[in-house]
């Protein structure tokens, strides 16, 4: 095991030297990827690299433990800024630890549930009642428009079905700054409203099927832990009219358009 593969475990807490820095991690997908491959969803990072430049201001909603916050931080550089929002207090604590052990000064973490109202459902049919909020702490809600920003160049939103509520809470920022928006869209019944809302703001939207595992990874481990299944995140890239068009991504033709089998 070389230095890049150094890992340790103390009382259930795993620590490893990963592609973008030291990471504390756990969990069946993000944690397993970091443990086995030293990276998570590098296919998404490839999109970030095409959209984010030095000095940019980015917001990441659903930052989780920071596995994608770290590469975003490096892409915006010391003159750029990243606001990383995570709603679950326990996950947020790990996010802050990962920012701290890597000495990241250009990232501001926020522990809030982002939505356009306090009536948004905070539970998950897949992950349970307390998947995104605490069982013991009262939920704090936040609208994106309430965050003071010098500008906004890039948004990443991955909140398991609440993407529209998040985006609606930041409509003033979106209309003013016209950021590139990268968001998850994996619930077919909610997709038309989400796509129609974004497209009505003057955005062109593109499908991005993002595998969380790549064979050519940081730890040089070619074995897919979920084989024969390939785990993907169903992500979309929205760019304002007039911006360069991403190469190789299928464009959404109408709000009712959906993923191809």
pLDDT at 127 over 70: no
Asked if residue 1 has pLDDT above 50, the reply is no
What structural domains does the chain harbor? 42-209+230-240 (3.40.50.150)
Taking the C-alpha atoms of residue 226 and residue 28, their distance in angstroms, rounded to an integer, is 10
The percent of residues above 90 in pLDDT, for the chain, comes to 76
Instruction: Using the predicted structure, report yes or no on whether residue 134 has a pLDDT greater than 60.
Output: no
Give per-residue pLDDT as tens, 55-80.
Answer: 999 999 999 999 999 999 999 999 99
Query: Out of 5-14, 136-145, 187-196, which region has the weakest mean confidence (pLDDT)?
Result: 5-14
**Model-level pTM?**
0.92
**Cβ within 8 Å of residue 111, ≥6 positions away:** 85, 86, 87, 89, 92, 140
Stretch 127-134: mean pLDDT, rounded?
58
- Whether the pLDDT of residue 6 is over 60: the answer is no
Other beta carbons within 10 angstroms of residue 116's beta carbon come to 19
Cβ contacts of 220 within 8 Å, gap of 6 or more = none
Would the CA dihedral through 209, 215, 221, 223 be positive or negative? positive
Tell me: the pLDDT tens digits for 151-180?
Answer: 999 999 999 888 999 999 999 999 999 999
Identify whether the C-beta of residue 87 lies closer than 8 Å to the C-beta of residue 133.
yes
């Amino acid at each position: 095991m070389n230095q890049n593969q150094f890992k340790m475990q103390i009382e259930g807490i795993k620590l490893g030297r990963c592609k973008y820095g030291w990471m504390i991690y756990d969990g069946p997908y993000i944690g397993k990827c970091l443990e086995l491959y030293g990276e998570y969803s590098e296919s998404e990072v490839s999109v970030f690299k095409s959209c984010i430049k030095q000095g940019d201001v980015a917001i990441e909603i659903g930052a989780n433990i920071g596995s994608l916050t770290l590469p975003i931080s490096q892409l915006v550089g010391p003159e750029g800024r990243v606001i990383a929002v995570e709603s679950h207090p326990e996950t947020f604590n790990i996010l802050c630890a990962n920012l701290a052990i890597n000495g990241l000064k250009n990232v501001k973490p926020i522990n809030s549930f982002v939505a356009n109202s306090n009536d948004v459902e905070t539970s998950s049919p897949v992950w349970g009642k307390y998947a995104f909020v605490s069982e013991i702490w009262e939920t704090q809600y936040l609208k994106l428009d309430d965050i003071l920003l010098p500008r906004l160049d890039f948004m990443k939103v991955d909140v398991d079905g609440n993407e529209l509520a998040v985006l609606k809470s930041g409509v003033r920022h979106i209309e003013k700054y016209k950021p590139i928006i990268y968001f998850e869209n994996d619930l077919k019944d909610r997709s038309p409203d989400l796509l129609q809302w974004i497209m009505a703001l003057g955005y062109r939207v593109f499908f991005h099927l993002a595998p969380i595992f790549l064979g050519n990874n940081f730890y040089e481990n070619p074995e897919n832990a979920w084989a024969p299944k390939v785990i993907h995140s169903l992500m979309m890239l929205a760019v304002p009219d007039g911006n360069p068009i991403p190469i190789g991504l299928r464009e959404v033709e109408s709000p009712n358009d959906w993923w191809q089998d």
